[in-house]
Structure 1
Amino acid sequence: MKSLTRSAWIGVFALLATLGGAATGATAQISVTDDDPPLAEPSVDAQEAPPDAAEPEVVDPIRSAVGTTLEEWRWTRRPVVVFAESPNDPRFVEQMENITSRLDALVDRDVVVITDTDPASGSSFRRSLRPRDFMVVVMAKDGTIVLRRPMPLSVREISRSIDKLPLRRQEVRERRLDAD
């Protein structure tokens, strides 16, 4: 393996930290040699970068309900919560196939899909939303329930319910203005 310079490794670790590499268990082997040039001081521009210039947090769009709460997503993402009694429930399988086939459309709408297939886990989502058997719940960024159905939904139905929200309409308007 060819060894990288110290500054190259610092860049790699900065990228991993930004992407959450430490949280995913990413590791690297460093080989530092005496030939490496001394580390350069960061430029004045780099030291004074505005906070808005930070990379957006990378979030796995499909998560388990175990160990997460609604508060974690309030004002940052729109939770779509999929409840089932078992991961083998045909309705759950159909819903997840629908979601994964058009995941890009949901990611574009700041959706995080929360799955709860273990009634015994007593997740905070199950306690607050009280599903009976299979259920899909689409929520707004403020935590209000937008749509609640006891059957699988298409991504089109989920997207339409989100696109009607005032905050989503404002986001679309702002994107159009930024594009101009």
Structure 2
Amino acid sequence: MSSHVLVAYHSDSGSVEELATAVESGARESGARTLLRRLGTGTGDTAADVLGDVLWAQVIAVGTPTYFGNVSAPVQRFLEHCRTAALAGALADKMVTAFTAGSSANGGQESVLLALHRSVAEWGALTLPTGYTDPAFRAVGGNPYGLSVTTGPGGPLDPGEAAMAGRALGRRAMALAERYLEPLARSR
């Protein structure tokens, strides 16, 4: 199976972009057809553009900076663009995972990940947490709800740790997509 994986993200400082690139690499290296979409650029951010990408994907990884315990405005707009399709049932059974970065370990990263999971639960999507399934997740923050990285005040991510954790998330998403989404698609 060659799953379609959309990595949609917003990044201000570059930390979330580093993670997004690594997640996309991990999925692609595992055999996925991937699409990396930066949100908040104004280019290609229309509801039709975003919805086309979401409908194409079987697996969606959403990345956002941690803003006061919540997602960024571009990620919120991304979710809002999906509303009509979600209400029509067109987003059911997609697999969605989330990742975030913030400058403080206690700055609301867990809240961000749970907010994203709550949003896609309304789609009927399967949420994919990281759990404690790979040591790379713990090395960058250890949040079981998704990939969560503490960057330190204004500091960059450790590129090696970020790449390992992001690739691990991409590989995990692909492995579970093959295990659960392929049989689900065959049963229809």
User: For this structure pair, what is the TM-score category when the shorter chain's length is used for normalisation?
Assistant: 0.3 to 0.5
Whose helix proportion is higher, 1 or 2?
2
TM-score (norm 2): 0.32
